[in-house]
Amino acid sequence: MAMVLVVEDEEQVRVLAEAIIQEAGHQTLTASDLPEALAVITGDGAVDLLFTDIQLKDAEHGGIEVAQEALKHRPGLKVLYTTGGNVTDGTRALFVDGAAVLQKPYLPADLTDAVNKRLAAK
Protein backbone atom coordinates (compact mmCIF):
# COMPACT_ATOMS: atom_id res chain seq x y z
CA MET A 1 0.00 0.00 0.00
CA ALA A 2 1.41 3.35 -1.07
CA MET A 3 0.72 6.92 0.01
CA VAL A 4 -0.44 9.11 -2.88
CA LEU A 5 -0.66 12.90 -2.66
CA VAL A 6 -3.49 14.12 -4.91
CA VAL A 7 -3.16 17.79 -5.93
CA GLU A 8 -6.27 19.04 -7.72
CA ASP A 9 -7.99 22.42 -7.41
CA GLU A 10 -11.43 21.19 -8.51
CA GLU A 11 -12.97 19.64 -5.40
CA GLN A 12 -15.24 17.15 -7.17
CA VAL A 13 -12.37 15.85 -9.30
CA ARG A 14 -10.07 15.67 -6.25
CA VAL A 15 -12.63 13.71 -4.20
CA LEU A 16 -13.27 11.32 -7.09
CA ALA A 17 -9.56 10.72 -7.73
CA GLU A 18 -8.99 10.16 -4.01
CA ALA A 19 -11.82 7.58 -3.89
CA ILE A 20 -10.50 5.73 -6.95
CA ILE A 21 -6.97 5.58 -5.56
CA GLN A 22 -8.23 4.39 -2.18
CA GLU A 23 -10.38 1.75 -3.89
CA ALA A 24 -7.17 0.54 -5.57
CA GLY A 25 -5.75 -0.13 -2.10
CA HIS A 26 -3.61 2.97 -1.56
CA GLN A 27 -3.78 5.71 1.04
CA THR A 28 -4.22 9.32 0.03
CA LEU A 29 -3.47 12.82 1.13
CA THR A 30 -4.94 15.79 -0.72
CA ALA A 31 -4.13 19.39 -1.55
CA SER A 32 -5.81 21.97 -3.73
CA ASP A 33 -2.83 24.21 -4.47
CA LEU A 34 0.95 24.62 -4.24
CA PRO A 35 1.09 25.83 -0.60
CA GLU A 36 -1.08 22.94 0.64
CA ALA A 37 0.95 20.44 -1.39
CA LEU A 38 4.23 21.79 -0.03
CA ALA A 39 2.91 21.58 3.53
CA VAL A 40 2.35 17.85 2.97
CA ILE A 41 5.63 17.32 1.12
CA THR A 42 7.71 19.08 3.77
CA GLY A 43 5.93 17.23 6.58
CA ASP A 44 7.08 14.06 8.26
CA GLY A 45 4.65 11.66 6.59
CA ALA A 46 5.55 9.34 3.75
CA VAL A 47 4.55 10.20 0.19
CA ASP A 48 5.29 7.63 -2.53
CA LEU A 49 3.57 9.29 -5.49
CA LEU A 50 2.51 12.80 -6.41
CA PHE A 51 -0.61 12.86 -8.63
CA THR A 52 -1.10 16.46 -9.74
CA ASP A 53 -3.17 18.40 -12.21
CA ILE A 54 -0.95 20.39 -14.56
CA GLN A 55 -3.39 23.31 -14.59
CA LEU A 56 -3.89 24.70 -11.09
CA LYS A 57 -5.54 28.11 -10.70
CA ASP A 58 -3.07 29.83 -8.39
CA ALA A 59 0.29 28.52 -9.61
CA GLU A 60 2.18 29.96 -12.54
CA HIS A 61 3.17 26.53 -13.79
CA GLY A 62 0.53 24.56 -11.88
CA GLY A 63 1.32 20.94 -11.24
CA ILE A 64 4.65 21.26 -12.98
CA GLU A 65 5.69 23.78 -10.33
CA VAL A 66 4.28 21.54 -7.59
CA ALA A 67 6.36 18.59 -8.87
CA GLN A 68 9.54 20.64 -9.23
CA GLU A 69 9.21 22.00 -5.69
CA ALA A 70 8.29 18.58 -4.29
CA LEU A 71 11.41 16.98 -5.73
CA LYS A 72 13.57 19.59 -4.01
CA HIS A 73 12.30 18.21 -0.70
CA ARG A 74 11.86 14.56 -1.69
CA PRO A 75 14.33 13.54 -4.39
CA GLY A 76 13.16 10.44 -6.22
CA LEU A 77 9.46 11.10 -5.59
CA LYS A 78 7.41 9.53 -8.40
CA VAL A 79 5.14 11.90 -10.30
CA LEU A 80 1.98 11.39 -12.35
CA TYR A 81 0.50 14.46 -14.02
CA THR A 82 -3.05 14.86 -15.29
CA THR A 83 -4.65 17.48 -17.52
CA GLY A 84 -7.70 18.14 -19.59
CA GLY A 85 -5.67 20.28 -21.98
CA ASN A 86 -3.16 19.55 -24.67
CA VAL A 87 0.34 18.53 -23.62
CA THR A 88 2.84 20.17 -25.93
CA ASP A 89 6.51 19.33 -26.33
CA GLY A 90 7.24 22.56 -24.48
CA THR A 91 5.13 21.43 -21.55
CA ARG A 92 6.71 17.96 -21.57
CA ALA A 93 10.14 19.61 -21.44
CA LEU A 94 9.16 21.03 -18.03
CA PHE A 95 8.12 17.65 -16.61
CA VAL A 96 10.31 16.21 -13.86
CA ASP A 97 12.35 13.18 -14.93
CA GLY A 98 10.39 9.97 -15.32
CA ALA A 99 6.97 11.60 -14.93
CA ALA A 100 3.96 10.34 -16.85
CA VAL A 101 0.73 12.07 -17.84
CA LEU A 102 -2.86 10.83 -17.68
CA GLN A 103 -5.28 12.68 -19.95
CA LYS A 104 -8.61 13.90 -18.51
CA PRO A 105 -11.29 12.74 -18.54
CA TYR A 106 -10.05 9.37 -17.38
CA LEU A 107 -11.88 6.22 -16.38
CA PRO A 108 -11.34 4.82 -12.87
CA ALA A 109 -9.46 1.85 -14.38
CA ASP A 110 -7.16 4.25 -16.28
CA LEU A 111 -6.27 6.12 -13.07
CA THR A 112 -5.72 2.88 -11.17
CA ASP A 113 -3.48 1.56 -13.97
CA ALA A 114 -1.48 4.78 -14.21
CA VAL A 115 -0.94 5.00 -10.43
CA ASN A 116 0.13 1.37 -10.19
CA LYS A 117 2.52 1.70 -13.18
CA ARG A 118 4.16 4.82 -11.70
CA LEU A 119 4.53 3.15 -8.31
CA ALA A 120 6.08 0.06 -9.92
CA ALA A 121 8.49 2.08 -12.09
CA LYS A 122 12.13 1.99 -11.14
Q: What is the pLDDT along the chain (122 residues), one digit of tens a residue?
A: 999 999 999 999 999 999 999 999 999 999 999 999 999 999 999 999 999 999 987 666 689 999 999 999 999 999 999 999 899 898 899 999 889 999 999 999 999 999 999 999 97
**Do residues 75 and 30 make contact, with C-beta atoms less than 8 angstroms apart?**
no
User: Is the pTM higher than 0.85?
Assistant: yes
Which structural domains are found in the chain, ordered by start?
3-120 (3.40.50.2300)
CA distances (Å), origin 7, targets 13, 19, 83, 89, 122: 10, 14, 12, 23, 23
The candidate with the shortest Cα–Cα distance to 80, out of 61, 96, 93, 62, is 96
